[in-house]
Amino acid sequence: MSPETDFVVIGSGVAGLRASIELASAGARVTVLTKDKASESNTEYAQGGVAVVLSEDDEAGLHEEDTLVAGAGLCDEKAVETLVTEGTKYIKQLIDWGAEFDREAGKLIFTQEAAHSRRRIIHSHGDSTGAELVRALIARAGLEKKINLTPFANTERLIVHDGRCVGVEFLDPVLRAPREVFGKAVIMCTGGAGQLYQHTTNPSVATGDGMAMAYLAGAEMADMEFIQFHPTALNLEEAPRFLLSEAMRGEGGILRNKYGERFMPNYDERAELAPRDIVSRSIVAEMRRTGTRTVFLDMTALDGEFLKHRFPKIYDTCSHYGLDISEDQLPVSPASHYCMGGIRTDLWGRSTLPGLYAAGEVSCTGVHGANRLASNSLLEGLVFGARAGQAAAEESKDLRVKREDVASSDQSLVSTLNSQLSTAVKKRVKRIMWERVGIIRDREALVRALTEFEQILAGSISFSSRKFVTVAKLVATAALWREESRGGHYRSDFSKQRDDWRVHSVQQRDQPIGSAHSISFQS
C-alpha cells in the first residue's frame, strides 16, 4: 500500500465507511485501515434497527424529546437536533444507494423499542440491520476508486507533528512489520470498548484502541463513566453473550424471574419498555433478591411464525443452543454493550487535537448523554461519519504534509514486535471491570480497581495491553469522580441524580479530571 494518501480513516463500521465515502466524493484519496475484515465491526452486530423519523405519525421533535429523556439530562441538545433532523436525509440516501429495509405492501415496516414514543425503528432482514448497512456502504465505497481499504491492519498509534495529527503507525498485514501512513487528517471510527468487561455483546475487536490512541496523543476524552449494559444477553454457560434485541421487548416480550413472575412493573411503571439502564439494574436487583444469576425473557405469547420471520438470526442462534424462542423461556442477564463516552468532539467530528476527527461510538458528541436511546447508534454513525468526512475535506484541502518533515521529528516509533494484547492482562482487566466498575459501583470498589490498574501498568506489558488498561483506567477514574447516579452510571453510595453534576467529565493526558457544560466546543 502506498503511504501517499490525503486522509486516513481508521475503522470500517458505518461511521468509517460513511466518512470515507464523503471524503472520496470530494476528490480525496482515502486509506481505510481496519483491524479485521472490512465487515467486522459493532455495526455488523447491530440487530434492532435504525431509529429515524419517516413514518406519517412521527416528527423530529418527538424523536429529539425521547433521546433527551433517555440521556438523563446530559445530552447536548444541538447534537440531538442534528442527529434527528439530518438522520432522515442520510437514511433516504442510503436507501437510494441500495440498502434494503423490511417492507409490507411496498411500505417500510416501523417497530417500537424501549423509551421510544412512536414506532420509528426500521430494520433489515428482521434482526440483521447492521449487516445490511455495512453491505450497502461497502458496495457504495467500492464505486469510489480513491478509497483504498486495508483489512487486518492493526493501528498502533497516532503520529503527531507540531501539535497536529498527521498520520498513523500500523502493523502491515503482509509484512507483519511497523509501517507509517501520512495524510492531511485522521478520522477515528474504531467503535467502542465493550471487551473491557467479562460479559459483553461486543465482538472481539471492540477493545477501545481508538480511544486509547487519541488519549495518549493528547486529545480530550469525555463521559467515559457512562457504559450502557444491555439488559438481555443470552445467558448460557456454553454460549457467547449473544444479544437478544431490544426489539423483542418492543414486540411484547416479558421479563420473568425464576418463579415465573413478571417483575419489571415492580421497578418502573414503563416495565419492559423502560430505558436500558433501568432495566439492567432492575434485573440485577431481581437476581439478587431471588438468589439467581439469570432471569428469563418470555416471548411465548407471540405467534411462532411471526417470531421466526421477525427475528431470524436470533431464532436460529437460540435453536442452535436448543431453545425455541416461541416456546421456551430464554435465560438472559445484562452485558456491557455500548460506550456513551469517548473522544470529545464537536458536531463536525473535530477533536481537541488538530487534524484528528472522530465519529461513531469511539467519539462523544454528547448526543447520547448519560444513556443512549435504543437504535440511535447506527443513525449516529451515518450522520456524524458524513459530517466528519465533510469537515475534514473542507478544512484540510489546502494543507500539505511533507513526509520527510514528519520523519525527522523527535518522536520514536513504538515497537510492534510484541504488540499483541496479552490474554492474561485482558482476562484480569475484564474481571476487575465487571466486578468493580460494572452496573452498580461504589467508591471502595472503584479505588481498588484503579489500584490494580496501576499495578498492571507498572509491569512489563505490551503496548496493546497498555492501551487496553489505559481505557479501563479512564472509565474507572471518571466513575470515581462522578459522585451521583445518572443514566448508565450508578453509584450505590451516591444513588441520587444531582443537578450540580449535570456536567460532562473531561480527561486529558497528564491533566487532572475536570468538567465541561457542553461537548460542542467549536463552531
Amino acid of residue 198: Q
Give the C-alpha distances (Å, rounded to integers) separating 325 from 105, 245, 256, 297, 301.
27, 12, 14, 9, 10
Known catalytic residues are: 276
Asked if 33 and 147 touch (Cβ cutoff 8 Å), the reply is no
Q: Which residues contact 106 (CB under 8 A, 6 or more apart)?
A: none
Question: How far is C-alpha 432 from the chain's CA centre?
Answer: 21
In SS3 terms, 203-240 reads as CCCCCCHHHHHHHHCCCCEECCCCEEEEEEEECCCCCC
Q: Which helix (H) or strand (E) holds 406?
A: helix 403-407
Give the C-alpha distances (Å, rounded to integers) separating 460 from 99, 210, 222.
47, 22, 29
Task: Write the DSSP string, 431-489.
Answer: HHHHHHSSSSB-HHHHHHHHHHHHHHHHS---HHHHHHHHHHHHHHHHHHH--S-BTTB
Q: CA-to-CA distance for 255 and 332, rounded, in angstroms?
A: 9
Q: Which residues contact 521 (CB under 8 A, 6 or more apart)?
A: 344, 346, 352
Q: CA-to-CA distance for 300 and 307, rounded, in angstroms?
A: 9
Q: Is 99 exposed, middle or buried (0-12, 13-18, 19+ CB in 10 A)?
A: buried
Asked if 170 and 156 touch (Cβ cutoff 8 Å), the reply is yes
Cell digits of residue 293:
444469576
Q: Which residues contact 409 (CB under 8 A, 6 or more apart)?
A: 161
Amino acid of residue 69: V
Asked if 272 and 265 touch (Cβ cutoff 8 Å), the reply is no
DSSP, res 194:
G
**Three-class SS of residue 67?**
helix
Task: Write the DSSP string, 291-340.
Answer: T-S-EEEE-TTS-HHHHHHHSHHHHHHHHHTT--TTTSPEEEEEEEEEES
Nearest C-alpha neighbor of 19 from the set 48, 43, 53: 43
Nearest C-alpha neighbor of 21 from the set 145, 133, 135, 155: 145
Cell digits of residue 43:
455495526
In SS3 terms, 349-388 reads as CECCCCCEEECHHHEECCCCCCCCCCCCHHHHHHHHHHHH
